[in-house]
Structure 1
Amino acid sequence: MSTSWTIPTVAIAVDLAVLTVRTERLHVLLVNRGVEPYRGRLALPGGFLSTEDEDIDVAAGRELAEETGLDAAKLHLEQLRTYGAPRRDPRMRVVTVCYLAIVPNLPLPSAGGDADRARWVPVDRVLGRRGLLAFDHGQIIADAVDRARSKLEYTTLATAFCNPEFTISELRRVYEIVWSEELDPRNFHRKVTGVEGFLVPTGNRTSGNGGRPAVIYRPGPATVLHPPILRN
């Protein structure tokens, strides 16, 4: 006996969880949706593939540029995970591939595409009111924050939040803000300088401004921390 089987119709989309540190808080980039469904609601930048031949990574970069004006080539960008619950989008079955992007402190982005306005929103404010976001974007943001917090422990991802050159104090503040905990300055200094290839001195120091001038570093070639820097 033969069994008939119909290939389901599924749309493919990309979404971007872009994180940065601004004004001593972890922020995520959100847009106001300019179209239905959820018109006027906050959402992650993203959208559908433009053609059947478009590569997913290319689509992520295109959507980021169209909706925010940011250049993916200048960011830390990695796939977070795929979300495909049957009713996550009221229009039809939509599977989205979400990307996590980490950027240094940037000015306000410019919105475009089907987004009315792009803005940085504190993560703690978003996670406390997930129901205000469109689709399942509250859960996606929570997953993105968890990924960033975990990767700070065993990779050099923290430098992606910093400017090209930075002090150890500035790097420590990234850890403290993303992890939401205070770190002992001396212990932190010992750990990060003890990881080979994590930081490279530039040979310059800060002006001091009345205090002791601090050594200025840039990211080194290492991508993995050994030993890892663990949260309390």
Structure 2
Amino acid sequence: MIKYLGQTRLLVAVDCIIFGFDGEHYKLLLIQRGFAPEKKHWSLMGGFVQPNESLKKAADRILKQLTGLENVYMEQLHTFGEPNRDPVERTIAVTYFALVDIQKYEKQLSKEYHAEWFSLNEMPELIFDHDEMVEMAKNRLRYKAALHPILFELLPEKFTFPQLQALYEGLYDTNFDKRNFNRKLLSTGLFVKQQEKDKENSKKGAYYYKLDQNKYVDDFQAFLKFIPNPEKFLTS
């Protein structure tokens, strides 16, 4: 086998940043690292890329192996390559962020690796540069959500406007006027009202809605109408 002479071999790892939403708060899925260094400390889901794997296949395998999750929304985020980021060996880390419906996947979580959801406001200290990875993923999510309805990956197929309002308020760390927010949502023409109501969270109940995917494709700019200061997130 021909090899490049005089070159140092490096390890390549994949780390997965898994976001969820419980109806009120954003959460991050973490595991306890199973080997030294930093054994039993909280970590993102990660592992090394095998010689016969693409980066995406490695990310899918790691996610399935460590958490039991599969077929979730996931995209590549960034590459972290500081020489001393891993104290054992020189390791390049390629990060992916994923969005999951907590209720849909709760029963799939692997108990072997102690996968656990943490509120983004109450996260434990993470190993290596994983805190930096999470912060970058949060910023990318704000940017993406101003252009595309990817936050709906965090919600059930049917949702209420109060749930949607909490979803966007939590991401952009702001508060919307309820009536104004609902009016802007309806003005987009992207939502299909259902007959059922959610009566668990209020006596009167809130109607369920679904996203009209066909209309969204024709008018994706509609989502910018209710994002606060969207230009702030479209220059990243």
* Structure 1 length-normalised TM: 0.84
Cα pair 1:83 1:95 within 8 Å, conserved: yes
**What residue number does 1:167 align with?**
160
Say yes or no: does 1:220 pair with 2:216. Answer: no
Cα pair 1:104 1:163 within 8 Å, conserved: yes
**What residue number does 1:7 align with?**
7
**What residue number does 2:234 align with?**
none
**What residue number does 1:67 align with?**
66
Q: Shift in Å at residue 174 of structure 1?
A: 0.7
**Aligned residue pairs: how many?**
217
**What SS is found at the alignment partner of 1:206?**
strand
Cα pair 1:69 1:111 within 8 Å, conserved: no
**What residue number does 1:204 align with?**
195
d(CA) in 2 for partners of 1:189, 1:56: 41
Q: Shift in Å at residue 227 of structure 1?
A: 5.3
**What residue number does 1:135 align with?**
128
What is the aligned counterpart of 2:74 among 66, 74, 77? 77
Q: 1:22 to 1:5 in 2, by over 3 A?
A: same
Q: Shift in Å at residue 138 of structure 1?
A: 0.5
Runs of 4+ in structure 1 deviating by more than 4 angstroms, as ranges, are 207-213
Cα pair 2:23 2:163 within 8 Å, conserved: no
Q: 1:225 to 1:37 in 2, by over 3 A?
A: farther
d(CA) in 1 for partners of 2:134, 2:178: 29
**What SS is found at the alignment partner of 2:47?**
strand
Q: How is 1:1-232 mapped onto 2 (pairs within 5 angstroms)? A: 6-22=6-22, 24-49=24-49, 51-71=50-70, 73=71, 75-106=72-103, 107=106, 109-112=109-112, 116-126=113-123, 132-196=125-189, 198-201=190-193, 203-206=194-197, 208=199, 211-221=203-213, 222=216, 224-226=220-222, 228=224, 229-231=226-228
* Structure 2 length-normalised TM: 0.83
d(CA) in 2 for partners of 1:216, 1:172: 13
**What residue number does 2:233 align with?**
none
Q: 1:153 to 1:207 in 2, by over 3 A?
A: closer
d(CA) in 1 for partners of 2:33, 2:199: 45
d(CA) in 1 for partners of 2:149, 2:198: 26
d(CA) in 1 for partners of 2:61, 2:198: 41
**What SS is found at the alignment partner of 1:79?**
strand
- What letter matches 2:149 in structure 1? T
* CA deviation map 1:187-227 (0-9, x unaligned): 2122222234x3233x3230657754533212222263435
d(CA) in 1 for partners of 2:178, 2:63: 36
Q: 1:53 to 1:183 in 2, by over 3 A?
A: same
* CA deviation map 1:84-109 (0-9, x unaligned): 11111112111111111111223262
- What letter matches 1:206 in structure 2? K
Give structure 2 stretches of 5+ with no counterpart: 230-236
Give structure 1 stretches of 5+ with no counterpart: none
Q: Shift in Å at residue 158 of structure 1?
A: 2.0
Structure with bigger helix share is 2
Cα pair 1:195 1:225 within 8 Å, conserved: no
Cα pair 1:19 1:27 within 8 Å, conserved: yes
**What SS is found at the alignment partner of 2:210?**
strand
* CA deviation map 1:22-53 (0-9, x unaligned): 2622110111111011111110001001x312
* CA deviation map 1:104-124 (0-9, x unaligned): 223262244xxx411011112
Q: 1:52 to 1:151 in 2, by over 3 A?
A: same
Cα pair 2:149 2:223 within 8 Å, conserved: no
